[in-house]
Copies of this chain bind each other. A is one copy, B any other.
Amino acid sequence: MPVLQLIYQHPLLTPSQLETIFEAHTLVDFKKGDYLLKKGQVSNSYFCIGEGMVRSYVHDFNGNDITTGFIEKNEIAIDVISLFHQVPTVEYFQALTDCTCYVIDLDKFQVLYHSIKGFNEWGRAWMSKSLFQLKQRTISMITDSASERYKSLQEQHPRILQQAPLKFIASYLGITDTSLSRIRKELTR
């Protein structure tokens, strides 16, 4: 499982512990459009994306989609609140392309989390990194223009621009698809 090798990198994890962690995963396929998790459900699984891309989104009060994130290959797709607090989620997690996922059920995850110190540390590192990235995004929403945010996305996550339709990218950047279309036109001159 080369994908899992990439995901679980932490100095405290020994090869035999990694083996135990790898074996806890089961393989699940999703077709484009399938939902890994839907609003109202209580999350019971932890997903690593092995192949493909997932989009997370919420509905705002007008019924519009707001894309909250794109989860790429070799990344983790979970709603931490729903999974760890066992409450209904407000987000949708939908396969943007056909996906292959490595999945661990919550019960099994908790056992690993409490029995393998390095896995616990890895989890804390993952969550703090997520927090940091989200903070960067929030700051970018304040300091950067829509055009600059688009360019950053283009540099840092080119695959998203290739795989996601414009309207999803636009709502992720906090603008309308109309505006993004104009920004793109402007940039290609």
A residues neighboring B (CB under 8 Å): 58, 60-61, 64, 66, 68, 80-81, 84-85, 114, 117, 120, 123-125, 127-132, 134-135, 137-139, 141-143, 171, 174
With contacts A60-B143, A66-B142, A81-B128 known, what are 10 further pairs, Cβ within 8 A? A61-B143, A64-B143, A66-B139, A66-B143, A81-B131, A127-B128, A138-B138, A138-B141, A141-B141, A142-B174
Name A131's contact: one of B61, B66, B134, B142 (CB within 8 Å). B134
Q: Nearest chain B CB to A75's CB is how many angstroms away?
A: 15
Oligomeric state, in number of copies?
2
Chain B minimum-CB-distance residue to A123: B124
Contact A85 B125 (CB under 8 A): yes
Complex Cα gap A61–B81 (Å): 34
Given contacts A124-B124, A125-B84, whether A131 and B130 have CB atoms under 8 Å apart is yes
A123 contacts which chain B residues (CB < 8 A)? Answer: 124
